[in-house]
């Protein structure tokens, strides 16, 4: 990169990816709105590139009430139709319906545990697992036993679009695991 910093390879192909990597990916998150946003965006990303989602992120935020879970839980049929007609987001009825349903499940889980962040802390041990020194990009898993267990529990709680791979990406995005490569300048933060 022009700044000379060594990064995870996936973050070097587009400025949006670089900014996301440098400022957000892998940092522990406790903000409820941000957790709901990342869970939602990871679900919409399935089958697409993360760059596609990043390019649409601002529109997603506007379309889904800033990812405020209580607001999204109140979405009705008119909102569904509005979202299906919004060219700025991924217009997939199953994802849209899942997001509205997930807002209900998110709030119920948060009510049970105090916050959704507290729920995650009860399921994923801290500090976050980190790649071993010397690990290469090929050693970053797509799923783990932890993501499988979290996925299963989320499904029991009524969440959709939360398969083990999506959940692992969510865990990476929100700092529940730290998969920065040892060669990356963010590895030791």
From the number of C-beta atoms within 10 Å of its C-beta (0-12, 13-18, 19+), residue 171 rates as buried
Separation of alpha carbons 189 and 9, rounded Å: 18
Tell me: cis bond preceding 127? Omega within 30 of 0 counts. yes
**For residue 154, what are its two tokens?**
């989320």
| Residues paired with residue 128 on neighbouring β-strands, in sequence order | none
Residues labelled catalytic? 20, 42, 50
């Amino acid at each position: 990169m022009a700044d000379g910093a060594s990064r995870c390879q996936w973050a070097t192909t587009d400025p949006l990816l670089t900014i996301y990597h440098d400022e957000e990916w892998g940092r522990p998150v406790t903000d409820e709105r941000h957790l709901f946003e990342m869970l939602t965006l990871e679900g919409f990303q399935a089958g697409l590139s993360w760059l596609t989602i990043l390019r649409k992120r601002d529109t997603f935020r506007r379309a889904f009430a800033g990812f405020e879970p209580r607001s999204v839980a109140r979405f009705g049929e008119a909102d569904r139709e509005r979202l299906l007609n919004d060219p700025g987001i991924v217009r997939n009825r199953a994802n849209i319906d899942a997001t509205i349903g997930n807002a209900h499940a998110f709030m119920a889980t948060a009510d049970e545990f105090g916050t959704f962040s507290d729920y995650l802390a009860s399921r994923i041990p801290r500090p976050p697992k980190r790649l071993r020194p010397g690990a290469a990009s090929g050693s970053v898993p797509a799923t783990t036993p932890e993501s499988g267990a979290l996925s299963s529990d989320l499904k029991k709680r009524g969440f959709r679009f939360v398969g083990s791979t999506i959940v692992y990406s969510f865990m990476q995005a929100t700092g529940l695991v730290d998969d920065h490569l040892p060669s990356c300048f963010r590895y030791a933060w």
